[in-house]
Chain A
């Protein structure tokens, strides 16, 4: 059970940041769902709920999603539903239930770089940037590898409207459970972006498979070869949810499903 000595809900991100850097034992609170499952002793809890970070702003070339936006808000956002074949809503749709998704936040998820994360895998196949209050804008792909150089607050994520078609796939023991493995894929003009997460380690790009697929017709043979390449290139691990060998096999299936789905959309758009 977590314990909290003092609690503050600052009215702006600036105020939150000043508190964060001037108090050693403090912790930022997003939705608080993940912190709730731990046993952290927190001297000062800085709750971001009232700092004006809950928004989805659709601009001409981007979507900016504030850190305190919940997965529920993302699922129901009409503008986001229309792009990337509803990739973002699909990536969060199996996370526990609607009532948890109405609490958990984009900021808490992306900043923590969880290995099991479903939405991080989806965001990886889009052109996503992370906006940190102090350090500015960093590509998500770099942030996932390096993390934050110093204590900072994730203010928003920014997704470019690239018009990519996309698919999200995951394998779970039951709906609502953590994924045994997840995979996201996006495609535009024959160029693919493929990410695999819950390996169980953090999501990564399958660059060799992406290079192999570039510009290729998705014939049966190409699909088979691509699934062999991805199973070879990605490093899997074992945990209570699945063994390394099982994940390797599942990865092939998820990639095949994603490619077939995207091929279906692509054929439709040519009709």
Chain B
């Protein structure tokens, strides 16, 4: 079957099997920054935005995405780089495997809540596991990023 999606602003068609998962379709079509980890919906490394909402691409049947808008981290490179630099400066980007999923969740958090509390940050990031670093460094990095964005808004 064929699905038509708008991915990172570009309309594309993909030939898929009815039991393909979105993560596999994305990765086999070159969106390799979408990482694959647990493949059962628990680690968060495969996070993308589907119609503006953060979802786990390893859980979504590719067929479900027909007609939807998809954003992968490749589509938000400059924002991703900026958040990545905050993560690096707090020492929480070590192997980096979790980073693309974490950054997609941070961008989603930002869309939902402009000035999140610590509790809200932790709530939105709870589905992104990191096996290298601690989560307190991530929290510091996110708070600094959100603060900088707030100052820019004035």
Interface residues of A (CB under 8 A from B): 1-7, 9, 29, 31-33, 36-37, 42, 45, 47, 49, 72, 76, 93-94, 96-100, 102-103, 175-176
A33 pairs with B59, CB closer than 8 A = yes
Contact residue among B58, B63, B109, B128 (Cβ-Cβ distance under 8 Å from A9)? B63
A47 touching B126 in the complex, CB below 8 Å, given contacts A36-B40, A76-B112? no
A72 pairs with B53, CB closer than 8 A = yes
A37 pairs with B126, CB closer than 8 A = no
A6 touching B18 in the complex, CB below 8 Å, given contacts A32-B61, A103-B56? yes
A residues less than 8 Å from B133 (CB atoms): none
A96 pairs with B123, CB closer than 8 A = no
A99 pairs with B105, CB closer than 8 A = yes
Report the Cα distance A267→B44, complex, angstroms.
42
B44 pairs with A36, CB closer than 8 A = no
B21 pairs with A36, CB closer than 8 A = yes
A96 touching B42 in the complex, CB below 8 Å, given contacts A4-B18, A175-B126, A176-B127? yes
A103 touching B126 in the complex, CB below 8 Å, given contacts A36-B40, A49-B64? no
A29 touching B61 in the complex, CB below 8 Å, given contacts A37-B41, A97-B44? yes
Closest to B65 in A: A49
Contact string against A for B residues 105-146, beta-carbon threshold 8 Å, 1 for contact and 0 otherwise = 100110010000000000111111000000000000000000
B residues less than 8 Å from A6 (CB atoms): 18
Report the Cα distance A6→B1, complex, angstroms.
9
Inter-chain pairs besides A4-B61, A72-B53, A103-B56, 8 sampled, C-beta below 8 Å? A5-B18, A7-B63, A96-B42, A97-B44, A97-B126, A98-B123, A102-B54, A102-B55
Contact residue among A5, A32, A97, A98 (Cβ-Cβ distance under 8 Å from B60)? A32
Contact residue among A47, A93, A100 (Cβ-Cβ distance under 8 Å from B56)? A100
A residues less than 8 Å from B60 (CB atoms): 32, 103
The distance from the CB of B113 to the nearest CB of chain A, in whole angstroms, is 10
Does B71 lie at the interface of the complex (its beta carbon under 8 Å from any beta carbon of A)? no
Report the Cα distance A268→B1, complex, angstroms.
59
The distance from the CB of B21 to the nearest CB of chain A, in whole angstroms, is 7
A7 pairs with B127, CB closer than 8 A = no
B18 pairs with A45, CB closer than 8 A = yes
Does B152 lie at the interface of the complex (its beta carbon under 8 Å from any beta carbon of A)? no
